[in-house]
Amino acid sequence: MAIEKPLSEMPIGTVGTVIENGLTGLTKRRLMDLGFIPGSKIEVLRKSPAGDPTAYYVRGTIIALRNNEASHISIIPHNKF
Amino acid sequence: MGYSCKSCKKCMLKDNFNITKDKDGLVIALAGNPNTGKSTIFNALTGLNQHTGNWPGKTVLQAQGTCIIKGKKCTLVDLPGTYSLLANSIDEVVARDFLCFAKPDATIVVTDATCLERNLNLALQVLEITDKVVVCVNLMDEAERKGIKVNTDLLAAELGVPVIPTSARSKQGLDELISMVYELATGNITSNPNPIPYDQDLEEAIQELQPQIEALLKGRLNSRWVALRLIEGDEELLEGIKNYLSQEELEEDRVEEKCAQ
Ligand SMILES: Nc1nc2c(ncn2[C@@H]2O[C@H](COP(=O)(O)OP(=O)(O)O)[C@@H](O)[C@H]2O)c(=O)[nH]1
Ligand SMILES: [Mg+2]
């Protein structure tokens, strides 16, 4: 059984599917508009030198998120995109 | 700022949006995600007849230009590239206010054929505000190179508005695009976007609000869309309504004749 994990804890190179966007209000809405919705395929591309923010590939574009946002997004990792 | 009459569309556009509309001219907006080719299309259509500045009172770049379509002077407005119109950022407020309150005669939503799914979020949001929309599926050459096929006829049927494929960099499809925009803007053809159904509890809330909103706004904004925004707690929109609608109070068609400018 695959287990949901917070996106913020995924190492570079992880690919997975978004299960839940657990944010609220405007931040939730903004991340939904950027493609962080259940079912979206996602890849962890790289981290900034300080480790935050992190760049993700989602729905055809690269989007950077702060860890305090990514920690509310859960994904199920899988083997390939 | 000099005298300007508050009740005609020409002055309303000039004062609020710094847009110069010719008598009998058309105003066409270009909306879309960043990097979909909006500026490429804008440049191809307006050539050297363009100028840039800021949106009134905002530090957001505004590009407008003119072109003649079938003898009619058209003002093209290149809106800021956004992923959404829900007023998450100043760019989104600018784009949304223009669509809601400047009421362009037609709006081109430029989308990227290589990641349509992402782009349709914005397209659907625009379609909730106005039905005078042509969806332009740009970067068709890039899609073809990647082996992506886009069924534009099916997309048009699903959305309920015209869909035109283009490759703007090589100017392919632009004639078809502009002639479709003309037909829609002049009312020769009408579109009929399929409404987006929401969950039942939301639909019930919409039904309760919509008649009251309609009574207040009298068709000046799409009441279903306003109901959705109010349910979502969108204070920005109330701000926009306060800013723009009192001036537009009078019938917006009672236009140029009465205005000295
Ligand atoms: N291959 C290809 N490239 C395009 C096309 N349209 C625009 N571009 C390129 O895509 C990039 C972004 O275009 P731009 O017009 O600046 O996009 P905007 O951000 O929506 O204004 C530029 O490098 C354009 O040359 C097209 O149809 N095909
Ligand atoms: Mg541009």
Judgement on whether residues B132 and B236 belong to the same structural domain of the protein = no
Those residues of chain B that have pLDDT short of 50 are: 1-2, 250-251, 253-256
Judgement on whether residues B116 and B132 belong to the same structural domain of the protein = yes
What pLDDT is attached to residue B1?
43
Listed residues B196, B211, B234: the one ending a domain:
B196
In B, minimum Cα distance to A35 occurs at B118
Q: Which of A30, A59, A60 sits opposite B88 (nearest CB)?
A: A30
Give the count of domains, chain A: 1
Are B165 and B140 in contact, with CB atoms under 8 Å apart? yes
Q: Kindly report the CATH number assigned to the domain that includes residue A74.
A: 2.30.30.90
* CA-based nearest distance B170→chain A, Å: 23
Q: Would residue B192 count as lying in a domain?
A: yes
Q: Would residue B56 count as lying in a domain?
A: yes
Give the count of domains, chain B: 2
Count Cβ neighbours within 10 Å for each residue of A33-62 and write b for 16 or more, e otherwise.
bbbbbeebbbbbbeeeeeeebbebbbbebe
Are B252 and B21 in contact, with CB atoms under 8 Å apart? no
| Subunit contact B118:A30, Cβ cutoff 8 A | no
Q: Would residue B1 count as lying in a domain?
A: no
What pLDDT is attached to residue B10?
84
Which atom in ligand 1 lies closest to the alpha carbon of residue B36? 20
Give the separation between CA B234 and CA B246, rounded to whole angstroms. 19
Judgement on whether residues B210 and B168 belong to the same structural domain of the protein = no
Q: Return the H-helix or E-strand segment holding A77.
A: strand A73-78
Judgement on whether residues B175 and B206 belong to the same structural domain of the protein = no
> First-to-last CA distance in chain A?
19
Structural domain including B220 reads 197-261
What is the Cα A10 distance to its own chain's centre?
A: 9
Judgement on whether residues B185 and B220 belong to the same structural domain of the protein = no
Taking contacts as CB-CB distances below 8 angstroms, the residues of chain A near B84 are: 29-30, 33
Judgement on whether residues B113 and B238 belong to the same structural domain of the protein = no
Q: Mean per-residue pLDDT for A10-24? A: 95
User: Confidence class of residue A79 from pLDDT cuts 50, 70 and 90?
Assistant: confident
Judgement on whether residues B128 and B225 belong to the same structural domain of the protein = no
Listed residues B144, B178, B196: the one ending a domain:
B196
Give the separation between CA B15 and CA B42, rounded to whole angstroms. 23
Judgement on whether residues B225 and B102 belong to the same structural domain of the protein = no
Residue nearest ligand 1's atom 4 by CA: B169
C-alpha closest to that of B191 among B75, B85, B106, B98: B106
Taking contacts as CB-CB distances below 8 angstroms, the residues of chain B near A18 are: none
B194 touches chain A (CB under 8 A): no
> How many angstroms does the Cα of residue B187 sit away from the middle of ligand 1?
30
What pLDDT is attached to residue B6?
58
Ligand 1: lining residues by beta carbon, under 6 Å: B 32, 34-40, 81, 138-139, 141-142, 167-169
Listed residues B180, B196, B212: the one ending a domain:
B196
A26 touches chain B (CB under 8 A): yes
Q: What is the 3-state secondary structure (H, E, C) of chain B?
A: CCCCCCCCHHHHHHHHHCCCCCCCCEEEEEEECCCCCHHHHHHHHHCCCEEEEECCCCCCEEEEEEEEECCEEEEEEECCCCCCCCCCCHHHHHHHHHHHHHCCCEEEEEEEHHHHHHHHHHHHHHHHHCCCEEEEEECHHHHHHCCCCCCHHHHHHHHCCCEEECEHHHCECHHHHHHHHHHHHCCCCCCCCCCCCCCHHHHHHHHHHHHHHHHHHCCCCCHHHHHHHHHHCCHHHHHHHHHHHHHHCCCCCCCHHHCCC
Taking contacts as CB-CB distances below 8 angstroms, the residues of chain A near B117 are: 59-60
* CA-based nearest distance A51→chain B, Å: 25
pTM value is 0.89
* CA-based nearest distance A29→chain B, Å: 8
Judgement on whether residues B76 and B166 belong to the same structural domain of the protein = yes
What pLDDT is attached to residue B250?
42
- Which ligand places an atom closest to the C-alpha of B114? 1
Residue nearest ligand 1's atom 12 by CA: B35
In A, minimum Cα distance to B125 occurs at A33
What pLDDT is attached to residue B259?
58
Judgement on whether residues B78 and B185 belong to the same structural domain of the protein = yes
Structural domain including A20 reads 5-78
A35-78, pLDDT tens digit by residue?
999 999 999 999 999 989 999 999 988 999 999 999 999 999 99
| Subunit contact B118:A61, Cβ cutoff 8 A | yes
B162-217, pLDDT tens digit by residue?
999 999 999 999 999 999 999 999 999 999 999 999 999 999 999 999 999 999 99
Judgement on whether residues B250 and B149 belong to the same structural domain of the protein = no
Judgement on whether residues B151 and B215 belong to the same structural domain of the protein = no
Q: Would residue B17 count as lying in a domain?
A: yes
